[in-house]
A = this chain, B = another copy of it.
């Protein structure tokens, strides 16, 4: 059994801690922030997330998937809000399929509680990582409340310290470490639609609401208390942008022109817009993720992605499931090779979801309101119904399956080609079952 230090008691750090402690290892999680169960913590991150199948399987390994689902709000589809306030619902998948609006803090606390119940796992808070000695798996940390510094020696460090990982920063200076951090031109700002006077939801609670406006968009996810957390994804520069919209009247114009149906639901929008911070959105790609059998990066530390496919947490939890399975196939003195298998497998999948997440931003903010896009979606659904064994839409493969992301990406590209062929037949979606059309559809679905 190994002595393992995990940096970060966030979502992935806590979960991977549970997995490793279950295998019998002695796990010590060190977290820079205070204990969020005792002090209000500003995490600087979105307060709710969309939990889907990959994430649920991760939580299952810790035995808390059902507890989390009990306090989640299922969202069966997107509700598009047009400029004029019309709402159109697009299901995400089949009738029983939904993504789940969950509180980031809620899941994190559940995971930390679950972790601390294990006798061979402990969490230390307020520990800022000052240095990492990769070869010896030693951390130098400083207690932010006492300023006391200490060394933490172990057999292995799991770097689960997020997009701005201190462990990765140290690895960045090792020989031939490939690294990129790449920001998009948009930032985001959180706003709130409070619950109604009687605690009721003021919009359909079982949908992810989207106000797609081409160069920008507003989205809203339901919270248990009847409120919606809304996020405005908006350019930093240009017109309109966070640069150009600052005064009360500029904010008012922006909302009146673009989100008029939101104004009555969001009484403090002008003040919130002025006061709430703007956050950035980054993709991190790096390789390798491991240093011998001493250090392994996981979650956002290895592959931070933008949030537009709702897969950041889900992908991080899938890391935990996959790592756990791989470790079972290796002896304890061969973790170097286990880490290598893990990083090779997950690198291609995290690259795929990073790419899909960036693409989905354009889909969400622009294409979802487009007639041609809606026609594509309709064809996808028709194919999914008729050929359910061999055709699953890309969104469903990513969200409601455990197909590796990179396979989903490749299959999605092939499906695009098929859909394009079918779309070339005028009105095919309304005349789907005609003999001619069915012959054609079958021929493109089963080529050669």
Contacts and interface: CB of A to CB of B under 8 A. Distances in A.
Interface of A: 172, 175-183, 236, 280, 282
B180 A179 contact: yes
Nearest to A164: B173
Contacts of A176: 183, 236, 280, 282
Contact of A178 (B175, B178, B183, B236): B183
B181 A172 contact: yes
A177 B172 contact: no
Contact of A182 (B175, B178, B181, B280): B178
Interface centre among A175, A176, A178, A179, by most chain B C-beta atoms within 10 angstroms, is: A176
A134 B269 CA distance: 35
A182 B180 contact: yes
Contacts of A179: 179-181
A278 to B, nearest CB: 10
Contacts of A175: 280
Given A176-B280, A178-B181, A179-B181, 15 more contacts: A172-B181, A175-B280, A176-B183, A176-B236, A176-B282, A177-B181, A177-B183, A178-B180, A178-B182, A178-B183, A179-B179, A179-B180, A180-B180, A180-B181, A180-B182
Contacts of A236: 176
A181, A280, A282 interface centre (most CB from chain B within 10 Å): A181
Contacts of A178: 180-183
A17 to B, nearest CB: 28
A104 B429 CA distance: 68
A182 B183 CA distance: 17
A50 to B, nearest CB: 25
Contacts of A172: 181
18 contacts: A172-B181, A175-B280, A176-B183, A176-B236, A176-B280, A176-B282, A177-B181, A177-B183, A178-B180, A178-B181, A178-B182, A178-B183, A179-B179, A179-B180, A179-B181, A180-B180, A180-B181, A180-B182
A282 B172 CA distance: 13
A282 to B, nearest CB: 8
A432 B218 CA distance: 63
A280 B279 CA distance: 36
A236 B183 CA distance: 31
A182 B287 CA distance: 9
Nearest to A281: B176
A177 B183 CA distance: 7
A175 B180 CA distance: 15
Contacts of A180: 178-182
A343 to B, nearest CB: 15
A176 B178 CA distance: 19
Nearest to A182: B178
A294 B178 CA distance: 29
A444 B103 CA distance: 63
Nearest to A278: B175
A314 to B, nearest CB: 26
A355 to B, nearest CB: 15
